[in-house]
Amino acid sequence: MRKKQAKILIVDDQEEILFSAKMILKKHFEEIFTTNDPKKIITILGENQIDVVLLDMNYRIGFEDGREGIHSLKEIKTLSPKTVGLLMTAFGKIETAVEGMKIGAFDYILKPWDNEKLLSTIDKAVVESRKLSRTSNSEPAPKKHFIGSSQKIKQAYSIAEKVAKTDANVLILGENGTGKFVFAEHIHQHSNRKDKPFVHIDLGSLSENLFESELFGYAKGAFTDAKTDTPGRFEIADNGTIFLDEIGNIPLHLQSKLLHVLQTKKVTRLGESKPRTLNVRIIAATNSDIKAEVANKTFREDLLYRINTMEINLPPLRERKDDIVPMAHFLLKQIGEKYGQNDVLFDTNVAEYMERYPWKGNIRELENKIERALIMSDDNTISVTDLDLLNFEYITTTEEHPLSEIEKNAIEKSLFKNNGNISKTAEELGLSRGSLYRRLEKYDLKIND
């Protein structure tokens, strides 16, 4: 049997898994790489044109939330866009794998796997990798992101495109889910560094003991597990842009180390004494009140001045009322294409409820609700109920459409739909039975026997 020309990397902390997968795959594919250390992924990708990475989601005992796998997947997508990521997960952890697919994983494989299913999935991933390679050899199409027409967001993007042409450091402020990553990437794509690396690091998920090794790199032998010389994120981003997400979460005693790198434009790997010169554009972001943190002396004022040459605020979705419905249609089209469900539409009354929902999770919440609704929908129409927009504990009042009127109509419709069943109606509306009974009394609604 002739082997397929493909290079596969398997990443798992269990040697028996690595051995078993390699034995199966080496009969079918040209070259198989294995590692039990996720830190080596960067080095392997740099030295080899890997087509597919088969990636475990948990590497350490006691850490089973999939965070490490998601973190590694983001690295792979940034450093090697042609490489296709497949996630390995145990049965019962599928939800985390699906979360990984939202950020770019091609598919997931359950452990213990079925050999035929494993080979079939990797075959498809190799085909996808070939498609990505062909696309990258032609003129790359710009990523499609929804910007919107509200005054606040147009103003933010106008500032972004002006500052993008410079090397000024940028601080992006905004609540969780307002699109800070997309905004930072937009600045990079409109800069003179657009053909160089764009490296994202979530400082909020980085433990203190990994801070220096992840950001600044380390030399072989610098600590127990340092088996090879490894560049940090700043080196990887050289001549490009580094996006320091959730910078407000850095502990005070580590802020001075970051400040030193930003001031000197040099980085020294752990275990080395010779600094390496950097040419990196800094974009930082936070959802915290950074100026209040400075006042409380939990964030260094000199570090704030260093990162916010230009400060840009991203408005929450509730302050972009005119953008909510067009954005929802944009996201539905994108997600529909992803799942091969291009004919799904919103119900006619969805827009009204979308505009009144407060969207505390902002764009991320809107996208998650649409994706979940599309997956769970039984027909080609997504309703208000499918989107879970009837939780009136969280809907605010407006003069044009009083909450009481909307709430009463929704309860009546839900009661009718559920034939007066209180439990089903309460569940559909996101209320407790007690809350529903109080509303029935408030609106003088009768239950038909």
Q: Where are the domains of the chain?
A: 4-135, 151-313, 318-382, 403-443
Query: Which letter, b or e, does each residue of 371-391 get, where b requires 16 or more Cβ atoms within 10 Å of its Cβ?
Result: bebbeeeeeeebbbbbbebbe
With CA atoms as reference, report the closest residue to 55 among 121, 105, 126. 105
Alpha helices in 80-196 (DSSP H): 94-102, 115-137, 151-164, 180-189
What per-residue confidence (pLDDT) applies to 394?
Answer: 45
Q: Which amino acid is at 79?
A: L
Q: In the block, which residue shows the tokens 């459409």?
A: 401
The parts of the chain modelled with pLDDT lower than 50 are 61-63, 92, 138-143, 392, 394-403, 449
What pLDDT does 175 receive?
Answer: 93
Q: Does domain 4-135 match CATH 3.40.50.2300?
A: yes
CATH architecture classification, 403-443 = Orthogonal Bundle (1.10)
d(CA 335, CA 323) in angstroms, rounded, equals 18
DSSP string, 231-277: E-HHHHTTTSEEEEETGGGS-HHHHHHHHHHHHHTEE--BT--S-EE
Q: How far, in Å, CA of 141 to CA of 144, rounded?
A: 9
CB contact set of 64 (below 8 Å; sequence gap of 6+): 58, 93
- Which residue shows structure tokens 């040459």? 309
Contact predicate 310/159, CB 8 Å: yes
Determine contact, residues 199/232, Cβ cutoff 8 Å.
no
Q: What is the pLDDT of residue 154?
A: 92
What is residue 376's predicted lDDT score, i.e. its pLDDT?
Answer: 83
What phi and psi values does residue 282 have, to the nearest 5 degrees?
-100, 125
Q: Which amino acid is at 373?
A: A
Taking Cα atoms as reference points, which of 394, 317, 390, 408 lies closest to residue 352? Answer: 390
Whole-number Å distance between alpha carbons of 234 and 214 = 9
Tabulate helix, strand, coil % of the chain (nearest 5): 50, 15, 35
At 293 the three-state DSSP class reads helix
Ordered alpha helix ranges (H), 312-444: 321-339, 350-356, 362-376, 403-417, 422-429, 433-442
| 4-135 and 151-313, same CATH topology | yes
Q: What interhelical angle do 403-417 and 422-429 show, nearest 10? A: 130
Amino acid at 145: H
Separation of CA 421 from chain center: 39
Q: Cα(294)–Cα(283) distance, rounded to whole angstroms?
A: 19
Q: Give me 323's structure tokens.
A: 């953008």
Pick the CATH number of 318-382 from 1.10.8.60, 1.10.357.10, 3.40.50.360, 3.40.920.10: 1.10.8.60
Distance separating alpha carbons of residues 332 and 411, to the nearest angstrom: 27
Q: What pTM was estimated for this model as a whole?
A: 0.61
CATH number of the domain located at residue range(s) 151-313 in this protein = 3.40.50.300
Residue 317 and residue 366: Cα distance in Å, rounded?
A: 9
The pLDDT of residue 101 is 73
Exposed, middle or buried by CB within 10 Å (0-12, 13-18, 19+), for 201? buried
